[in-house]
Structure 1
Amino acid sequence: MTLYYSLVFVLLVSEMILFMLLIVPLPFTIRRKMFTFISESPLIAKLQYGMKITFIFILILFIDSVNRVYRVQVELAETNKNQGGTVVMGHERMEVQARKFYSQRNMYLCGFTLFLSLILNRTYTMILDVLRLEEKVKEFEGDTSAGGKDSAKLAAAGNAGEIGKLKNQLAEKDRDIANLKKQAEGLSREYNRMGDQISPADSTPKKDK
């Protein structure tokens, strides 16, 4: 196995270990602190960025391995066809079978690595959602240990964009309410002014009588 495929195998084993750590049952407080650290750590953020670039190279290796498997299959079919349909024998057959085996091994190695990376990403997102829901349940049940700094950071890590959108909508609503209050105050002043003007005019004929 070449060096880069050995690195892909090491990455696959690391992903398997990380997946086991994600799904292992832990107390709520420990899991919340662990995911808060993952969400806030700048080292983890740099590592995630580097892994995205690494997975791009693994995708290129996967495409190359699929191409090699296809070429070996075509070569084996052409060899059998040139020999009149007889089975390829001897060292030539062993060489083709070995190339086929290595190509398929590399294809499966890169494919499972990419597939497990998608599973890890989805599992991480689902665990964040579950933690936020558990936090809300504890707050509704009146648990004083729920909430706090860690839960706020955890929620911000999962839905920072949604919070910003809601804040903008809330600010727009506040501006609309302020404008409505100003309009209501203006209408009230105008109503009082018109009422003061009409009242003396109504009382003057009564005094003449």
Structure 2
Amino acid sequence: MSLARRERHALADTMAAAGPTAPTLCGTWTVHDLAAHLVVRERRPDAAAGIVLSPLAGYLDAKQAEYARKSFPELLELVRTGPPWWSPLRPVDAFANLTEMFIHHEDVRRAEPGWEPRQLAARDEDRLWTALRAVARTAYRKSPVPVVLATPQGARITAHRGGGGEVVLTGPPSELLLHAFGRDEVRIVPTGAEADVNAVLATDRSV
């Protein structure tokens, strides 16, 4: 089973344990809201386009509100089932849904006090490192200083070049990927001049 599929099932289990009204790291969304978002993304490609196309944002909101009226158990089953056979995401689920499922799983986990990072298998961390390579430059494009992402084992990605002092963010690929996607509830070690580090940590990292 692919990592994306395993994270999908783990996300559904974590959502069920948290309950529909539990908070997430996705702004004001509850777990129920997040489940509706995931279902619309996979089952209403006409509306999901509003995620990246602002003229369709209102249509996306309307469809998400429509799905949010479904019962929580029904939404969880749709999340767990994944893209239907006709969805354009179905053939590329292992690739297209890897970051989506992993990050939203952590959005639910880390909204709870006392969270701790999971210990992932080395092969899973390697897969997330590959995913990080694909988004690193986009994520840190607004940084005012150079950014390097590094693992404790010495692997490195130059996420942003430019003038000023270099900032190195060190951590497991899973933690670095979460940071690249704008999450601050992570365990990474930043090094560099204090002002430069603060600037990088405050950078808009929307992908």
Structures share fold, TM-score greater than 0.5: no
Structure showing greater radius of gyration is 1
Which TM-score band (shorter chain)?
Answer: under 0.3
Q: TM-score, normalised by structure 1?
A: 0.23
Q: TM-score, normalised by structure 2?
A: 0.24
